[in-house]
Amino acid sequence: MKRRNFLNTLLGLIAGTVVSKKSYALDRRQWKMVTSWPKNFPGLGVGAENLANLITKLSNNRITVRVFGANEIVPPLEVFDFVSQGGAELGHSGAYYWKGKSPACQFFSSVPFGLTPQEMNAWLYYDDGIRLWEKLYSRFNLIPRPAGNTGVQMGGWFNKEINSINDLRGLKMRIPGLGGEVLAKAGGIPVTLPGAEIFTALQTGAIDATEWVGPYNDRAFGLYKVAKYYYYPGWHEPGPSIECIINKDAYQSLPEDLKVIVDTACKAVNIDMLADYTAKNNIALNFLKSTNIEIKKFPDDVLKTLREISDSILSDISSHDEITKEIYLSFTEFRDNINSWTEISNKSYLNIR
């Protein structure tokens, strides 16, 4: 009797294991990721590929992700809607492109005179950042995750010198998000263009100036061939976060272990991209110094005026609705509070290095 019971139990365990393995094998998903970047573009496009590969490998192919570059399925500025509506499960882009959906989106990409990459990650992961981001995007059937950071950017490419704030008046410049709003208040004309269109627009005179990212990506686009002056610092994007947006229905259909894998892959790629840009910007900057361009710093009085305009704009948009106000208060409070530590740690060290 004992032997029979033992054999029945053993057979039951074996059968359960077989069923479990069969269910595991059948529990596979094929996901699409649409991006706002050219396929395999250095840094941004490669970051999307890295994220797709990591999700696929960590899940042991239970989720296989195929990446589509800008315009392969949808234009770069339609990624948000496409993922929201379920056309693809994943998107890789920048949140400031969606300010038409809500001005609050811009806080999760980059704010002029805002947070550094290190501070941005601190706000997102260990303060209210991701919670508020999820709250904002839930109305669009999306789950957001940080999935990259380019580090502090350059101020942009110009074909004339910027000696005073008056030199920005009438200037047609490719600059999205809050940076574009600041330029407009300063008398300039902001233009939103996807990356792939920047070179031609600057070459033909459709725009007078452009910002893109930094030496690594700007060299890849050949912007040094069509502009003479390269300005710093990137006041408009001091720590721009790149986002992975996940269709909420697709995410919620995942078992818990796969949710953790998607979240962990996003965090890993977020850290990896910043390291990649830090290393490659240095190499590209040395190359650009060997060309005929002039690398110049914005005058202090220009930066001071832009900062004042930025603070005014942020205050104005905080009254747009309750969620924007909540995000604004969280972001600015964190920025003001973190200053005391940043001043005596990173800033003081860099001043003496």
* Domain boundaries along the sequence of the chain: 25-151+239-279
Tokens of 202: 């600057």
Tokens of 306: 């832009």
Which residue carries 């991701």 as its tokens?
130
pLDDT tens for each residue of 262-274: 999 999 999 999 9
Q: Give pLDDT, residue 32.
A: 98
For residues 224 and 221, give the distance between their C-alpha atoms in angstroms, rounded to a whole number. Answer: 8
Percent of the chain with pLDDT over 70: 93
pLDDT tens for each residue of 253-264: 999 999 999 999
Cis, bond preceding 299 (omega within 30 deg of 0): no
Q: Give pLDDT, residue 27.
A: 80
CATH entry, 25-151+239-279, from 3.40.630.30, 1.10.940.10, 3.40.640.10, 3.40.190.170: 3.40.190.170
For residues 150 and 239, give the distance between their C-alpha atoms in angstroms, rounded to a whole number. Answer: 7
Assess whether pLDDT exceeds 80 at residue 5.
Answer: no
Taking the CA atoms of residue 231, residue 237, residue 242 and residue 243 in that order, the dihedral angle to the nearest 10 degrees is -150
For residue 169, give Cα distances in angstroms to 33, 160, 182, 185. Answer: 39, 12, 12, 9
Mean pLDDT of 220-226: 96
For residues 220 and 126, give the distance between their C-alpha atoms in angstroms, rounded to a whole number. Answer: 34
For residues 17 and 101, give the distance between their C-alpha atoms in angstroms, rounded to a whole number. Answer: 48
In the sheet with 90-93, reading across from the earlier edge strand, the strands are 63-68, 29-35, 90-93, 241-247, 142-149
Short-list 289, 297, 41, 42, CA closest to 158: 297
Would you place residue 96 in the very low, low, confident or very high pLDDT band (cuts 50, 70, 90)? very high
Predicted TM-score (pTM) of the model is: 0.88
